Amino acid sequence: MAIIELKNIYKKYGDQSDVIEDFNLSIEQGEFVVFLGPSGCGKSTILRMIMGLESITSGELKIKGKLQNNIPAKHRNIAMVFQNYALYPHMSVFNNIAFGLKVRKTPRKEIKEKVTKVADLLNLTPYLKRKPKNLSGGQMQRVALGRAMVRDTDIFLMDEPLSNLDAKLRTTMREELVQLHRNLSATTIFVTHDQMEAMTMGDKIVILDAGKIQQVGSPDEIYHQPENLFVAEFIGAKKMNLLELTKDERGVTYSNQVIKLPVFEADKEADILGVRAEDCRLSLTEGYPFEITFIEKLGSDQYIHGISDGEKVIVREKPEKTFEVGQQIYFTINEEKIHWFNRETGEKVRPKNG
Amino acid sequence: MEKATRSERIILFLILAFIGVFMVFPMIWMFLSSLKTTEEVLGSTMTFLPSDPQWSNFSGALELAPFLRYIWNSFSTATVIVLAQLFLSSLLAYALTQMEFRGRNVLFMIILATYMLPAATTYVPSYIIISRMGLMDSLAGVVVSNIVDVFSLFLLRQGFLKVPGELIEAARADGASEWRILWRIVVPTSKNTLINAALISFIGHFNNYLWPSLITNSEENFLISVGLNRFFNSQGAFGQTFPLIMAATVISILPLIIVYFLLQKYFIGAISSSEGIKG
Amino acid sequence: MDKQANFKQLFVFVLIPLIPLVIFWIIPLIISVWLSLTNWDYISPTYEYVGLDNYLNLINNDAFLDALNNTLLFTVATVIPTIVLGFVFAVMLNQLRKTKGFLQGLMFAPWITPMVGMSIVWSWMFNPSVGPINQVLGLFGLPEPNWLSDSSTAIWAVIIVTVWKGVGWAMLFFSDALTKIPKGLFEAADVEGAGLGQRIRMILIPLVSPMTLFLFIILTLDALQAYDQISILTQGGPSGSTRTLLYLYYEMTFQQFNIGAGTAVTVLILIISAFLAFLSMILSKKFVFY
Ligand SMILES: Nc1ncnc2c1ncn2[C@@H]1O[C@H](COP(=O)(O)OP(=O)(O)OP(=O)(O)O)[C@@H](O)[C@H]1O
Ligand SMILES: [Mg+2]
C-alpha cells in the first residue's frame, strides 16, 4: 500500500497563477524518492505541503491512507531536514537533537539514550556541547539529520540538504545518507536540483518543471527512456543531441540525407531525432557533416562539440583519438539508440511494438 | 512565527488598533480639550467632542506667554546641538573605527562607561562651569553644555564600522587625507545613520527639560518644555484656564508631531540601526 | 599611507571631540565625588571636608530610605511592563501585513512627545472629578481613585505615564529583533511537534534575549533618571510617596542647597548604575549565543 499519496494537488499563492498543477504521485513504504528539477519549479512547495507547512489549495494528500489536508504539521509526525538546516542557534548540538523529544515530554533518560545513539551514528559525539555557530557546514548538516533521525517516525523529508556542502563532503554525505536509508528503511523524499545526486541516490526520481511532473521513473528509465524533450535535455552529463528533421518529396531528411523512420503508434509524427553523445561516433568519411568547434577532454573520455547543419551536436569519443578544432568531418548515429519526439507536443513518439 | 490565518489577523488587528488608539488617546483628548470652553471641561457630564470649537483658545494661549519664542529657542538650540554633535562625533567615530592608535580600545570603553552614568551626577559642577564661562541664562549655555552625546557617537561608530574597508584603503592609496576620507567617503556612505542619529538627538534636545530649567531664568531663554511648565504652574494647577493650558500644550507638541509624520520611516530605521549597541 | 595615526591627526580626530566630554562629563564627575565629601551649601564661600558623613547621614535618613524604596518600585514597575508589553505587541504586530507600519506608528508616537507637555495632559486625565480616566472607570462601576493626591496611588499614576511613553520604543526594538529571526527556525520547531507556547518559550524568548537585556539596561538607566513626569504630576508627593532618588537629589541640591548631601545621592545613583552595567556585562556573556 502506498504510504504517501498525492492526488490532483494544486497550489496557488495568493492570486498568482498555479505554482503546482495537477500533481499526482504515490510513494511506497521504504522508498527513496528524489524530486529533481530546476530552481523555482516547485520542489520545496510540494515538500512543504506534505509536511503541512504550506496549505493545499486543492487536491488530496493521504498519508497511510488518512487524509492530511487539514492536519497541522506537528501532528503529522514527519521529520524534515531543512534546506538551510534551521538549527537553533541558542542550543547546543545535544539540545538541538533533543528538542523534538523534549517537546513531547520524553523522559530524560530516554532522551539521553536516543541522542547518544544518533550522535554516535553520525559521528557527532565530540561536538555535543558545541553551539551551531562553532560547527562546520558538514557538521551542521549532520546535526540537522540527527534532529530528524532521533524522531520516532518512518517518513523523512529532506530539502536540498547537501546543497551547501563542498564537492567532496557532498559525495561522502551522499553515500552516508544512502547507507542510513538502508539501515532505517524509512520512506524518504529527497529534494535536489543536482542530477548526479538524484541519479546516485534515488530508487525513484520525480522530474519536475514549472509545477508539473515531467516523468517518474528509476534513474535508468529517466536516462534511457526520457518521456519528453524537457527530460531529454535536463538529464545527462551532456544534454541529448536534438536534430530537427525536415520533410520533402523524398520523405523525412536531416542534412539532406533521408532518415528511415519507424512506424509510429497511433499515427503520430516525429520531427525531432534525439540521440545521446555516447551513441554517436565521429568519422572521416561518412555520416552527417560535423565541424568541430570545441574539444572537452575529461581524461577518461573526450566530448567533441561541433556544428552540424546549423545545430549544436556533441559526440563522445575515446581519449586516444586526436581531433582539431575547425576540422570538417562527419558523425554517425547508432540507430538503435534513437529517441523520437514531436516538437509541438514536446512528447516522445513511440514506434509501434518497440 | 506561525502564520496567522486571515480571521486571526483581523482579530489581532482589532486588538492592536484598540491599543494604538489608547496610545494616542492623550493626544486626541488634549486636542479636543483645547477647543472646549471652561464650562464644558469642568461640567459634570462627560462630553467628548467640543460643542462649539473655541479656536480662540490658541490665540489666547499665545497672548499669555511667548510660546512661539520658546519653540524657536528649542528648535534653534536643538539644531545647533545636533550639528555640533554630528561634527564632533563623526571625527571621533572615524578615529575609533578607521585609525590605529594606542589606547583606542580603552578610550572606547571609557566613553561607553560614561553613557551608563546618570547625567544628574554632573549637574552641580557643570552648573558652576557654565557660570564661570559666563554662559548662565543664555541659549549659548544650553548649547555648549549639551554638545556631548555618547549615544550619537555609538550610532555613528556602528554605522562607520559598516563602511567597506577597501573603500577607505583605495582612497588612502590615492593619497587622500584622513579628513577628506571622512567627509567625502565615510560620511556620505553612512548618510542614513547620520539622519537617524540626528533625529533621535533632535527630539531629545527639543524636549529637554531638567537641565535647561536649571540654567535658564529669563523668559526669552526658555525652551518649550521649561516655558510650558512655567505657564502651567502660573495658571494654577486647577483652574478656569484649563482649555488654554491644553491649547498651549498642543502648540508645544505640534512641531514634533508634524516632524514625526513626515519622517516616520527614519525613526523606525533609527531603532533598527541602534540595535547591536549592547551593554 | 598607513593606518597608524600621527599626532596632528590624533589632535583633530580625538582630542578636539573629547574636549566637551571632558569638560561636561569627566571633570564634573570627579568634582561631584569630591563635593559629596564636603558640606558645601552653594552660598558660603568656604566649605569643609567631612569624609563620609553625607553618606552616613543618608543611610540614617528616612526620606532617603523611602526614596530608595520608591526608586526600586518605580524602576521594577516601569521596566518589566514596558519590556513585557513591548514584546507582546511586537509579536502580535509581526503577524500583520499591510497594517503593521501604521499601528507601529501609533504605538511609537508617545515616545516623540515631550514628557513635560504630556505629563500636563495626564495630570488632567487623572483628575478625579473631570478627568476621562475616572469617568470611564465610573461607567463600568469600578473604583475611582484619587490618583495623584492619594499617596497609595500616586506612584502608580507616574508609572502608567512612564510605561505609556516607553512601550512603543521597546516594541520597535523587539519588532526589529523578530524580523531578524530566520523563519525556518519556527517551522523546524513546528515540524518537531512544538506547540505555540513551546515555540514562544523555547525558541522566541531565548532568541530575543540579547535585545531584552539591552532594553533592560537602557530602560533601567532611564527609570533611575526619571524626573520630568514626577516633577509635573506629583512633585514627589503626596507625602513623599513619589520621591525617587533623583527627585530627592533635585530637592536637596536645588531647593535646599545642600550640595554635599545632594551630590552624595547622585554618587549613589551612579554606583547603582555602574553595578547594573557590570551586571549586564556578566549577563550578556551568558546570553550572547551568536
Ligand atoms: N510564499 C510564496 N509566495 C508566493 N510565491 C511563492 C512563495 N513561495 C514560493 N513561491 C513561488 O513558487 C514557485 C516554486 O517555489 P519553490 O520554492 O517550491 O521552488 P523550488 O523548486 O524549491 O526552487 P529551489 O530549487 O530554488 O529551492 C516559485 O516560482 C516561487 O517564486
Ligand atoms: Mg527549494
Considering the domain architecture, whether residues A49 and A144 belong to the same structural domain is answered as yes
Question: Which atom of ligand 1 lies nearest, measured to the CA of A45?
Answer: 18
Would you say the CB of residue A193 lies under 6 angstroms from ligand 1? yes
Q: Give the pLDDT confidence of B68-92 residue by residue, as tens digits.
A: 899 999 999 999 999 999 999 999 9
**A44 CB less than 6 Å from ligand 1?**
yes
Does residue A352 lie within any of the structural domains? no
Closest CA to C213 of B145, B261, B276: B276
Residue C217 lies in a domain: yes
Q: Per the domain annotation, does A347 fall within a domain?
A: no
Question: Residue C232's domain spans which residues?
Answer: 61-287
B42 part of a folded domain: no
Which of B12, B17, B178 shows the shortest C-beta gap to C9? B178
C-beta separation of A178 from A211 below 8 A = no
Of A16, A45, A206, the one to substitute when testing ligand 1's pocket (max ligand atoms within 8 A of C-beta) is A45
Comparing CB atoms, the residue among C13, C31, C32 nearest residue B95 is C13
User: Reading across the β-sheet that carries A246-248, which strands appear in turn?
Assistant: A246-248, A251-254, A257-258
The answer to whether residue C95 scores a pLDDT higher than 60 is yes
Q: Which chains share 3+ C-beta pairs under 8 angstroms with A?
A: C
Of B95, B116, B246, the CB nearest to C14: B95
In this prediction, residue C59 carries a pLDDT of 87
Pair (A328, A274) in one structural domain? yes
What is the distance between the alpha carbons of residues A221 and A227, in angstroms, rounded to a whole number?
9
Interval B181-202: pLDDT, tens: 889 889 988 888 888 888 888 9
Q: What average pLDDT does chain B have?
A: 84
Yes or no: say if B276 and B158 are a contact pair by the CB < 8 Å rule: yes
Report CA(C155)–ligand 2 centroid distance (Å).
56
Band (pLDDT 50/70/90 cuts) for residue B263 is confident
CA atoms of B13 and B16, how far apart (whole Å): 5
Return the C-alpha cell found at C238.
503626596
| Neighboring chain C residues of A77 at a CB cutoff of 8 Å | 193
Out of A73, A89, A131, the one facing C191 most closely (by C-beta) is: A73
Contacts of A82 in chain C (CB under 8 A): 184, 187-188
Maximum pairwise Cα distance, chain B: 77
* Ligand 1 atom having least distance to the Cα of A46: 18
Task: Specify whether A124 is located in the same domain as A48.
Answer: yes
> From the list B123, B229, B242, which residue is nearest C124 (CB)?
B242
Instruction: State the pLDDT at residue B2.
Output: 54
Q: Is residue B24 part of a domain?
A: no
Structural domain span for residue B116? 65-223+253-273
**Which of A193, A212, A233 is the C-terminal boundary of a domain?**
A233
Tell me the three state secondary structure of residue A171.
Answer: helix
> Could you tell me if A113 and A13 lie in one domain?
yes
CB A132 within 8 A of CB A87: yes
Chain B contact for C3 (CB, 8 A cutoff): yes
Flag if C20 and B279 touch (Cβ within 8 Å).
no
In-domain check, residue A348:
no
Which residues lie closer than 8 Å to B13 by C-beta, 6 or more apart?
C96, C99, C103
Confirm whether B119 is domain-assigned. yes
Atom of ligand 1 nearest to the CA of A42: 18
Can you give the CATH number for the domain in which A117 is found? Answer: 3.40.50.300
Q: Which of A13, A55, A162 to mutate to test the pocket of ligand 1 (most atoms within 8 A of CB)?
A: A13
Selected residue with higher pLDDT from B238 and A223: A223
Indicate the DSSP class of residue A72: -
**Ligand 1 atom 30, closest CA:** A40
Q: Which ligand is nearest to the CA of A48?
A: 1
CB contact under 8 A, A103 and C190: no
For the CA of A192, the nearest ligand: 1
pTM: 0.82
Query: Do A80 and A215 lie in a common domain?
Result: yes
Question: Does C12 fall in a domain?
Answer: no
Residue A354 forms part of a structural domain: no
- Total domain count for chain C? 1
Residue to mutate, A15, A39, A44, A192, ligand 1, most ligand atoms under 8 Å from C-beta:
A44
HEC-encoded secondary structure of chain C: CCCECCHHHHHHHHHHHHHHHHHHHHHHHHHHHHHCCECCCCCCCCCCECCCHHHHHHHCCHHHHHHHHHHHHHHHHHHHHHHHHHHHHHHHHCCCCCCHHHHHHHHHHHHHCCHHHHHHHHHHHCCCCCCHHHHHHHHCCCCCCCHHHCCCCHHHHHHHHHHHHHHHHHHHHHHHHHHCCCHHHHHHHHHCCCCHHHHHHHHHHHHHHHHHHHHHHHHHHHHHCCCHHHHHHCCCCCCCCCCCHHHHHHHHHHHCCCHHHHHHHHHHHHHHHHHHHHHHHHHHHHHCCC
For residue C23, pLDDT beyond 50: yes
* Residues listed for chain B: 279
The minimum CA-CA distance between A24 and chain C, rounded to whole Å, is 24
Q: In A90-167, which ranges are E strands? A: 155-159
Q: Take atom 6 of ligand 1 and give the residue whose Cα is closest.
A: A13
Examine residue C23 and state whether it is found in any structural domain, yes or no. Answer: no
Residue-wise burial string across C74-88, b where 16 or more C-beta atoms lie within 10 A, e elsewhere = bbebbbebbbebbbe
**How many degrees, rounded to 5, is the angle at CA B225 between CA B223 and CA B227?**
65
Q: Is the pLDDT of residue B229 over 80?
A: yes
Number of structural domains found in chain A:
2
Residues lower than pLDDT 70 in chain A: 353-354
In a domain, C30, yes or no: no
Q: Which of A233, A268, A284 is the last residue of a domain?
A: A233
Q: Cis omega (within 30 of 0) on the bond before B125?
A: no
User: Is pLDDT at B61 greater than 60 in this prediction?
Assistant: yes
CB pair distance less than 8 Å for B278 and C284: yes
C261 occurs within a structural domain: yes
Residue of A nearest to C195 (CA): A74
| C95·B8 Cβ contact <8 A | yes
Ligand 1 binding pocket mutation candidate from A23, A34, A43 (most atoms within 8 A of CB): A43
Pocket lining: A148 vs ligand 1, CB cutoff 6 Å: no
- How many CB atoms are closer than 10 A to CB A45? 20
C263 and B CB contact within 8 Å: yes
Question: Whose alpha carbon is nearest atom 5 of ligand 1?
Answer: A13
Please give the Cα distance from A291 to B267 (Å, whole number). Answer: 66
pLDDT tens figures, C55-80: 888 888 888 999 999 999 999 999 99
Q: Is residue A351 part of a domain?
A: no
Instruction: Place C195 in a pLDDT band, splitting at 50, 70 and 90.
Output: confident
A266 vs C257: which has the higher pLDDT: C257
Minimal C-alpha gap between B55 and chain C (Å) = 18
Minimum mean pLDDT range among B12-16, B82-86, C5-9, C57-61: C5-9
Inter-chain contact C106–B21, Cβ cutoff 8 Å? yes
CA distance B272 to B104: 26
Neighbours of chain B (3+ CB pairs under 8 A): C
Distance between A74 CA and the closest CA of chain C, angstroms: 4
- pLDDT beyond 50 at B277: no
CATH of the domain at B151: 1.10.3720.10
In a domain, B241, yes or no: no
- Give yes or no: residues A108 and A181 share one domain: yes
Which residues from chain C sit within 8 angstroms of residue A78, using beta carbons?
191
Give, in order, the Cα–Cα distances in Å from C226 to each of A239, B265, C70, C71, C160.
Answer: 73, 28, 12, 9, 13
The pLDDT value given to residue B279: 28
Ion ligand 2: protein residues whose beta carbon lies under 5 Å: A 44
Interface test with A, best of C98, C192, C284, C285 (most A CBs within 10 A): C192
**Full domain range(s) for residue A99:** 4-233
For chain B, how many structural domains are there in total? Answer: 1
Taking only the tens place, the pLDDT of each residue in B21-54 is 999 999 998 888 888 877 777 766 667 777 777 7
The C-alpha of A133 sits at a distance from chain C's nearest C-alpha, in angstroms, of 7
**C49 strand-pairing partners:** C38
Region C255-263: what's the mean pLDDT?
A: 88
Q: Which helix (H) or strand (E) holds A243?
A: strand A241-244
Q: What is the 3-state secondary structure (H, E, C) of chain B?
A: CCCCCHHHHHHHHHHHHHHHHHHHHHHHHHHHHCCCCHHHHHCCCCCCCCCCCCCHHHHHHHHHCCHHHHHHHHHHHHHHHHHHHHHHHHHHHHHHHHCECCCHHHHHHHHHHHHHCCHHHHHHHHHHHHHHCCCCCCHHHHHHHCCCCHHHHHHHHHHHHCCCHHHHHHHHHCCCCHHHHHHHHHHHHCHHHHHHHHHHHHHHHHHCCHHHHHHCCCHHHCCHHHHHHHHHHHCCCCCCCHHHHHHHHHHHHHHHHHHHHHHHHHHHHHHHHHCCCCC
Q: Is B52 part of a structural domain of the chain?
A: no
Q: Which of C99, C125, C277 sits opposite B116 (nearest CB)?
A: C277
Domain boundary among A203, A233, A263: A233
Q: What is the CATH number of the domain that holds C255?
A: 1.10.3720.10
**Nearest residue by C-alpha to atom 4 in ligand 1:** A13
Q: Ligand 2: distance of its center to the CA of A162 in Å?
A: 12
Q: Is A45 close to ligand 1, i.e. is its CB under 6 Å away? A: yes
Give B57 to chain C, closest Cα distance, Å: 16
**Does the Cβ of A38 fall within 6 Å of ligand 1?**
no
Entry field: residues in chain A: 354
Residues of chain A neighbouring C187 (CB-CB closer than 8 A): 53, 73, 82, 86
Residue C67 is assigned to a structural domain of this protein = yes
Provide residues of A within 8 Å CB-CB of chain C. Answer: 51, 53, 72-75, 77-80, 82-84, 86, 88-90, 99-100, 102-104, 131, 133, 147, 151
Partner residue opposite B271 with nearest CB, options C14, C173, C213? C173
